[in-house]
Structures are given as C-alpha cells and as structure tokens.
C-alpha cells in the first residue's frame, strides 16, 4: 500500500498510483500533468492521528489538578484553569445571555454538527468529574455509549465524548 500523501488517480481504471509514476501501474495508461491528484485517505488519517497523539502527550504533561483540557481533533487544546463546571455548547457572537460556564464550540462547526446551545455539562462532584447530557436535540455519547438525558456519568481522563457529531477527548488530573 502507498504511504504517500498525494496519489495520482488513473483516468482509465481509477487506480490510485504513487505520485512519481508516469504510467498507471495497473493498466499502463499514461499519466500526464492533467491526471487527477487525490489525497491518500489512510495516510492523511494516520497523520491526523499522529498530530492528535502528540498534542495529547503535551496536554497530559502540562496538566495539573487545577486544569481540565478538551481536545478536538488536531486543534489547539482548550485548557480551562480553576473551573469545575463546563457547559459544552455554542452561542452567537452577539449573545448577551451567554452562560458563564459555557465552552463555546462555535468555531469547531458546532452548529453544522448538530450541537445544541447548552448540550452537555461536565461537573466536578465530590471527588471526580461527571458528564451529563442536558436534554440536547442530537444526544451525547461517552466512549460510544449513548447517555440518558439529565443523568450523571463518571468521567475518566482520556474519555471520548461525542456531542451530536462533534467528537472530543477530555483530560484532567485528580488529587
């Protein structure tokens, strides 16, 4: 299998060739400059995973018990300090009713991905963090399992949270 990021797609047989070939290795079709270039899906996904795990390692190094971090794909992590209650949702830029606890996920295409304005709550109760779906339209999943609305589920650092179609990971350290 090719591990190049860019591939040349054969216009004749649709075979995905390495970027340096001048002839399709499958059918012999000449591949000129007009040949369609494609992004190798598996390679780009592997790169994205590498980036995400590097960021994850950095986040885990820098965390102390006062911080909680949210990681969305390969983006800069959202690190909140001294806060024990986070509402995952979105607001309008001119929204004056914005809740203090809101983590605004607007910039992560939250609206297009079906995230409700007040979608889910991460709350520190007694001795640990818990996740609650706030009766959102499209639901919340924790490590793939769908949550019942308004019920608290215990969180572990590194857990996968899916709010509607937006996936994130949560990291924290406890005393």
Does 22 participate in binding Zn ion (rule CB under 5 A)?
no
**CA-CA distance, 102 to 143, in Å (whole number)?**
22
Tell which residue, 10, 60, 53, has the closest CA to residue 30. 10
Q: Which range touches Zn ion (CB under 5 A), out of 17-25, 33-41, 70-78, 122-130?
A: 17-25
Residues in CB range of 166: below 8 A, 6 or more apart: 72, 105, 108, 109, 110, 113, 114, 115
Q: Which range touches Zn ion (CB under 5 A), out of 12-20, 50-58, 104-112, 134-142?
A: 12-20
Q: Which range touches Zn ion (CB under 5 A), out of 9-17, 47-55, 131-139, 153-161?
A: 9-17
Residue closer to Zn ion by CB (options 32, 175) is 32
Among 13, 48, 51, 150, the residue binding Zn ion under the rule CB under 5 A is 13
**The tokens of 7 are what?**
């591939």
Among 2, 5, 12, 135, the residue binding Zn ion under the rule CB under 5 A is 12
Among 21, 23, 26, 47, the residue binding Zn ion under the rule CB under 5 A is 26
Exposure of 104 in the CB half-sphere (CA atoms within 13 A) = 11
């Amino acid at each position: 299998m090719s591990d190049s990021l860019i591939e040349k797609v054969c216009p004749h047989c649709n075979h995905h060739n390495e970027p340096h070939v001048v002839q399709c290795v499958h059918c012999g079709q000449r591949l000129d400059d007009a040949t369609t270039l494609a992004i190798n899906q598996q390679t780009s996904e592997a790169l994205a995973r590498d980036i995400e795990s590097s960021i994850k390692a950095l986040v885990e190094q820098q965390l102390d018990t006062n911080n909680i971090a949210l990681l969305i794909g390969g983006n800069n992590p959202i690190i909140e300090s001294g806060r024990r209650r986070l509402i995952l949702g979105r607001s309008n830029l001119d929204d004056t009713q914005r809740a203090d606890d809101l983590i605004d996920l607007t910039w992560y295409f939250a609206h297009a991905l079906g995230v409700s304005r007040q979608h889910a709550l991460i709350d520190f109760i007694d001795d640990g963090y818990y996740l609650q779906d706030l009766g959102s339209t499209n639901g919340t999943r924790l490590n793939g399992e769908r949550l019942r609305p308004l019920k608290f589920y215990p969180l572990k650092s590194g857990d996968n949270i899916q709010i509607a179609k937006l996936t994130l990971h949560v990291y924290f350290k406890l005393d």
